[in-house]
Amino acid sequence: MGKQGIVTALILGSFFVGFPLREIQAAPLRGFEAMIVSMSGAGSLLLKPGERKEITVEFQNIGTKAWNRTGAGYVSAYTYEPKYRSSVFWNDGWFKKVQPATIKEEKILPKEVAHLSFFLKAPAKEGTYKETFQLASEDAAWIPGGQFTVNIIVAKSVAAVKPAAAMAPGDTRGMAATLMIRSQKNVQAAGGAEVSFTVGIKNAGTARWMSRDIRVAADAVSPLVSNATYHDSWESFTTVVTNMAGTIEPGGMDLLSFVFSAPKLRGNYTVRYQFAANETAVPNFFIDIPVEVTSDAASLRTESPIGFEEIIESLNIIDEPTIRVGVLLVDEETDWQVAVSCRSNWQVRDTQGALLGEMAADGSVTAFYKKGKYWFNRGSGLETSTYPLRFAPNEKNAVCAVMNFDRRLTRGVPHADNSFRNILELRYNAAKDRTWIINELSIEMYLRGMAETSNLTALEYQKALITAARTYAFYHVERASKHASEFYHVDAYRDQVYKGYGQEERMPKQVEAVEATRGVIAFYGSKVAITPYYSQSDGRTRSWSDVWYGDVAWLQSVPAPCDMGKALLGHGVGMSASEGICQARAGKVWKDILNYFYTGIDLRKHWN
């Protein structure tokens, strides 16, 4: 840039440094502003020493001035952080040594998308690099929103390097999808009838898809009626189907089949679902299914998604229950095996109780399932077991870890979250032809490792949340049917989010909330009162009958004044997290918060 641009850079440079692109909220500068649309590899690149690869970045012009490729004020990228630096990835294909490329298009008007492409040539030295660039209008301005970073691994054997997942949960950069296939253009069905549906969804972005799921959108049925489309085959109240097999590269397509229930009342509807990849909803993409309900349901179903007819009656003090949590699918993420270690002395046993080995603290065992047998190596060669393997610390609630699982490396998140209290179990199930690591521990220790809120939320809200979560967990332990085919009670991702011991260490306030409410369960009369919760209402909660089948006495619509004017995030039934947090900040205690959202419940200590 010329002298004028340098002055501008000095003024703005301190604002940009250290802020990820998605967090920048800069105002337009002299009519210039950009928004990143996509980037090759979602900003991750693997190179061998000396290898060249092209990277392409797309920006939308969201300012008021046109961008030009040539002439006065032409738009290009400069090296950044620090500005005008010499990059070790420079090569003779660059526009200038500190300026890799100009935009490809001759002219980009406001709201149009520009493309910027250039080659990076890896240095001879292996290692991990970070290269940051910034869009600029020559002699005019550094363009707000025009900063981007490429994370690069240089290694001689690229195949041996396991790259991080293309996207972290919550990150939507490079996320786009296109609906390519639908099994039916329009659906005709009787009220409440079972509808089978298949969609083919193309990865139209630049980010690799690891997990894929279809979930209920906030406005799941239009027009709004007191029906939902829940079906017993669904993963949960709000997750329709999940596919975690393999990955879908950009340009690839995934086929997802699922079943939903037609609305109960005669009429024309649009049933809407949201598609998510890498545990993140793809922006501005919905699966809308036109449904003509030809007749009212013959009879209104009284059962609910969680089977209230089976809710246990329980009034007496009991021993603290043990819960089994599916925490990790053993697949390519861990090279189809696990390496387990415990911090205290521990044992390897099978599910029949047979002792297979005694291990010292921090000793490691590698194990996997293959061809009908469980294989393990505790340092003296491969051994086998016919039955699933249990890795059990001698000291109850001691910490064990899956050493070859690190979310920081494979999922691009801040914490490894590979440590769990008490027993880990390696078990294959034929129902879905996959192998799980299951964490078996007491309910109270499970609650310590939950990740449904942050340590910054008010303690009284956390007590309310933990009590609702404890009630939900206890219900599934007693019923023991939701994931029975896979031998655990709850899924660590799709029921209540659970991250284990690492989360417990980061959440001292949550641990305090667990201890303060220990053993307390919500009851309605003599029955456990299931207590759903969600992120945010739009000014009122929904009654059970507004969203699911039947009527539940303690789940009625109540005002949520702190949520007024906000968008509904979640199913809307029970406790709104944002309203609950607001009430706690206003001085309400946890019992009052729970009684507000769950009408007529009693809170009773059910175990010590």
What spatial distance separates the first Cα and last Cα of the chain, rounded to whole Å? 69
Looking at 324-434, list the stretches that DSSP marks H as alpha helix, in order from N- to C-terminal side.
407-410
The CATH T-level fold of domain 3-160 is Immunoglobulin-like (2.60.40)
Neighbour-count burial for 148-162, b at 16+ CB within 10 Å, e otherwise: bebbbbbbeeeeeee
Q: Report the C-alpha gap between 507 and 352 in whole angstroms.
A: 36
- Distance, in Å, from the CA atom of 447 to the CA atom of 122, rounded to the nearest integer, reads 47
Could you tell me how far CA 462 lies from the centroid of its own chain?
A: 21
Question: What is the rounded average pLDDT for all residues in the chain?
Answer: 84
Instruction: Report the range out of 34-38, 396-400, 535-539 with the highest average pLDDT.
Output: 396-400
Residues contacting residue 10 through CB under 8 Å, at least 6 positions apart: none
**For residue 576, which of 541, 530, 531, 601 has the smallest C-alpha distance?**
541
pTM score, whole prediction? 0.56
Which DSSP letter does residue 22 get? Answer: G
For 159-233, list the strands marked E by DSSP: 177-182, 187-189, 194-203, 212-222
**Rounded to an integer, what distance in angstroms lies between the CA atom of residue 557 and that of residue 534?**
14
Angle value at C-alpha 127, between 124 and 129, nearest 5 degrees: 100
Q: Is the peptide bond before 82 cis (omega within 30 degrees of 0)?
A: yes
Contact assessment for residue 259 and residue 194, using Cβ atoms and an 8 Å cutoff: yes
Strand partners of residue 257: 198
- Give residue 419's pLDDT: 97
Per-residue pLDDT at 237: 57
Question: What is the C-alpha to C-alpha distance for residues 593 and 256, in angstroms, rounded to an integer?
Answer: 40
C-alpha 402/C-alpha 416 separation (Å) is 10
169 confidence band (pLDDT: 50, 70, 90):
low
Segments in 186-272 forming alpha helices (H): none
- Report how far residue 587's alpha carbon sits from residue 605's, in angstroms, rounded to the nearest whole number: 24
Q: In this structure, which topology does domain 177-293 adopt according to CATH? A: Immunoglobulin-like (2.60.40)
Contact 266, 191 (CB under 8 A): yes
Q: How many CB atoms lie within 10 A of CB 18?
A: 8
Are the beta carbons of 388 and 350 closer than 8 angstroms?
yes
Query: 206-223 pLDDT, tens per residue?
Result: 888 888 899 877 544 433
* pLDDT tens digits, 302-329: 334 444 434 445 557 889 999 999 999 9
Can you read off the two tokens belonging to residue 253? 């397509």
From the list 397, 388, 405, the residue with the least C-alpha distance to 511 is 397
pLDDT reading at 236 higher than 70: no
pLDDT tens column, 77-127: 999 988 889 999 999 999 998 999 999 999 999 888 899 999 999 999 988
Whether residue 435 contacts residue 428, with contact meaning beta carbons closer than 8 Å, is answered with yes
pLDDT at position 298: 61
Map 531-590 to HEC letters: CCEECECCCECECHHHHCCCCCCCCCCCECHHHCCCCCECCCECEEHHHHHHHHHCCCCH
Q: pLDDT digit string (tens) for 31-71?
A: 898 877 667 765 667 888 999 999 888 888 988 999 999 99
In the chain, list all ranges with CATH 2.60.40.10.
3-160, 177-293
- 490, two tokens: 């709850």
- DSSP-derived letter for residue 333 is G
Q: Kindly report the number of other CB atoms within 10 A of residue 218's CB atom.
A: 16
